[in-house]
Chains A and B, each alone.
Chain A
Amino acid sequence: MRKTLTSVLAGIGLVLACGTSVYAQDKELTIFWAEWDPANYLQELGNEYEKETGVKITVETTPWSDFQTKAFTEFNAHGDAYDLVVGDSQWLGAGSTGGHYVDLTDFFNKHKLGDVMAPATVKYYAEYPGNSGKYWAIPLEGDAVGWSYRKDWFEDPKEKEAFKAKYGYDLDVPKDFKALRDIAEFFHRPDQKKYGIAIYTDNSYDAMAMGFENALFSYGGELGDYSTYKVDGFINSDKAVAALDAYKELYKFTPPGWAKAFFVEDNQAITENLAAMSMNYFAFFPSLINEASNPNAKNTGFFANPPGPNGDQFAALGGQGISIVSYSQKQDEAMKFLEWFIKDETQKKWAALGGYTCSAAVLKSPEFQNATPYNKAFYETMFKVKDFWAVPEYAELLQQLNQRIYPYMIGGQGTAKETLDALATDWNATFKKYGRGQ
């Protein structure tokens, strides 16, 4: 009996010894992000950091569809599996008021990041609440929605001639939403298995919101007033109604089965010769100029989200900032990594690896703008972006938007005005529930 007891104790001791020694030896930081190319670029950047400092960086990823759920499950359990997280811009409210993110205001001010990073990225990726001067993240991956198109289809002389005969103006990159619609209609030929346009329609997370926002903002509409939480007269204004109708109109010219489309499907529309134009985040464009992933790479062009009827031109913002998780045991080490990350030469390296830097200086540099066919459009777009609500209950607001807009867009139920009036009522009720703007 005593023998067994001794051996068990020895075993436990051994396990503990090994466990602690592993902890003591390795300096390691874990960054959590979604599974996509930029995360691989960040891993490469992390490898550079390891070479310089000996601190190992591991970028852990999960598919986009689980990203939000998995991150918040870990936060809510106060788990320290991740030291840093590259969270979606909408998470700022929940992350900061929920106590999941470390307050980075001092760090931000010390390094004057408000001047170093592009203004829109500071406003939407770092600050919460709006205009409070409190910062919770460092802008890491700038992103917005842009468009890719088939240059070969657009430049075909026969198509150009037919287009001019039908619409009375030249076929070119769309200069406004009306042209976008006309071109989509023009190329929509189901009998030839060619379709006009690929847009976001998925209603499971923020796809539908991001897609609709492109029309809404360029039509001069707004989701609401971000400081007073007033939505009546904004989301159901005449401009918003016209924008929703314009977005629904585009759905007519999408490939068959386009009712659950997000970034994967929209890139496929170009690679599989399905559509003439396709909406997508800039972050997904690198694979479109890569011949290995896009057989039409040479014939793919890019343009920024076009203006609406009154000349307003905006785009929906994607992108993420990097935050320190408040339950991490290695916050000091994480802070050191951020200090390294914001250095100019690191930002240049980040851009060279394929990351979309938010550093204003790098964005403005000609070497960045000429590096790829879409970088210039990206630079232009990043100064004309707007984002969804970032309040902690943003997921409820998204769900309500999906619930109202999807049946109208895809199922053709009701009218645009009815849809947006109902959405305004839903949002008012939600804001009231959480005591906002009362």
Chain B
Amino acid sequence: MATTMITTLDRSSRAAARGLSDISIRNLFIIPTILFLIVFNIFPLIYSLGYSFTDFRASTNAAANFVGLQNYRDLLNDPYVWSNFAITAKYVIISVVGQLVVGFGVAMLLNRDIPLKGLLTTLLLLPMMLSMAVVGLFWKLLYDPSFGIINYALGLGTFEWLSDPKMALYAVALTDIWMWSPFVMLLSLAGLSAVPKHLYEAAAIDRAGPFYTFFRITLPLVAPILMIAVIFRTMEAFKTFDLAYILTSQPTAELISIRLYKMAFQEWQTGRSCALAYIVLIMVLAITNIYVKYLNKVKER
């Protein structure tokens, strides 16, 4: 069955002249990719699963002992890890919702005939082209209570964005919103421009109000592509590391990936950190699955 899917080789092509069959050409293309995936993705994945059941520490020569589910038990009983998860959830919600609102809003503004639209769009895309670490360093300066431009512009005096335990997470989320709203904007723009014009004309003839038009025409038609943006951004926000790590050291803004990094590469608790990485992986998979289910539902409509 599978072979019939492949287009037959042109008899006069060089490949055919060399005596390569369809199947060998398929193998030539696919096998290196599969090998690459196995060596660099699947093998480490399985290997680290093995480690997650041991007390292995990469920094010592001591042999790894099998400890069963001990690492998972300890981690799931650790109040600090739970608080890291709660912080991460809060961060994901704030930053993804923020990006959706800002990104979609800007896309709505741009989705009309205005002068210099191309230039404007390009400029708005700049933040997401920067490196996360660079953005983190810049925003650290912008937030600085003594000489930061944000406090100066808003007249906030010496308001401590990053050292205030209550504010730090919002400050990181705000930076993330600044950086990644353009991504949502880009996808929304693609979705908006694909909405057939005649629907709006029909709505105008029927004297539909702007809210009605938005909620009954624009939003449902852009929803599938917005869902894709949400999936991408949720996965990314869940994994956020560099931005938060550079901006603040507040325990109230310690995302799960920072905890994982500390456990793996500062404390060298390799076995336990593998277990934590698996817990995170399972969570991301579960959340993504819910989204994908919902996306399929939206598409069917």
Contacts and interface: CB of A to CB of B under 8 A. Distances in A.
Given A203-B251, A399-B262, 11 more contacts: A73-B265, A76-B268, A94-B268, A97-B60, A202-B249, A258-B163, A272-B146, A393-B267, A403-B251, A407-B165, A410-B250
17 contacts: A68-B266, A69-B266, A97-B61, A99-B61, A190-B158, A203-B249, A256-B145, A256-B160, A257-B144, A259-B163, A259-B248, A274-B146, A393-B267, A396-B269, A403-B80, A410-B165, A411-B252
Interface string B93-117: 0000000000000000000000000
A411 B144 CA distance: 19
Contacts of A72: 58-59, 265, 268
A318 interface: no
B120 to A, nearest CB: 35
Contact of A255 (B146, B162, B249): B146
Interface in B95-151: 144-146
Interface residues of A, number: 34
Given A258-B163, A259-B160, A98 B59 contact: yes
A68 B162 CA distance: 25
Q: Choose among A68, A94, A256, A392 the residue with the greatest number of B CB atoms under 10 Å from its CB.
A: A256
Interface string A389-416: 0001101100100010011001100000
Contact of A257 (B146, B251, B267, B269): B146
Contacts of A76: 58-59, 268
Nearest to B168: A259
A410 B59 contact: no
A411 B250 CA distance: 9
Interface string A69-85: 10011011000000000
A257 B165 contact: no
A204 B258 CA distance: 10
Contact of B267 (A193, A203, A396, A407): A396
A-B pairs with the 8 shortest C-beta distances? Answer: A259-B163, A256-B145, A257-B145, A256-B158, A76-B58, A395-B267, A411-B165, A98-B60
Contacts of A205: 266
Interface string A52-90: 000000000000000011001101100000000000000
A407 B251 contact: yes
A204 B249 contact: yes
B267 A399 contact: yes
Given A202-B249, A259-B160, A396-B267, A94 B59 contact: yes
A407 B80 CA distance: 12
Interface of A: 68-69, 72-73, 75-76, 94, 97-99, 190, 193, 202-205, 255-260, 272, 274, 392-393, 395-396, 399, 403, 406-407, 410-411
Contacts, number: 78
Contact of A260 (B163, B262, B267, B269): B163
Given A98-B59, A205-B266, A257 B160 contact: yes
A358 to B, nearest CB: 26
- Count chain A CB atoms within 10 A of each CB in B60, B158, B267, B268 and give the residue with the most: B268
Contact of B268 (A259, A272, A395): A395
A146 B273 CA distance: 37
Q: Tell me which of B61, B144, B249, B262 has the highest count of chain A C-beta atoms within 10 A of its own C-beta.
A: B249
A272 B144 CA distance: 14
Contacts of A274: 146
Interface string B153-168: 0000010111101000
A192 to B, nearest CB: 12
Contacts of B160: 256-257, 259
Contacts of A255: 146
A260 B249 contact: yes
Given A75-B59, A98-B61, A203-B251, A259 B267 contact: no
Nearest to B158: A256
Most chain B beta-carbon neighbours within 10 Å: one of A204, A255, A260, A406 = A260
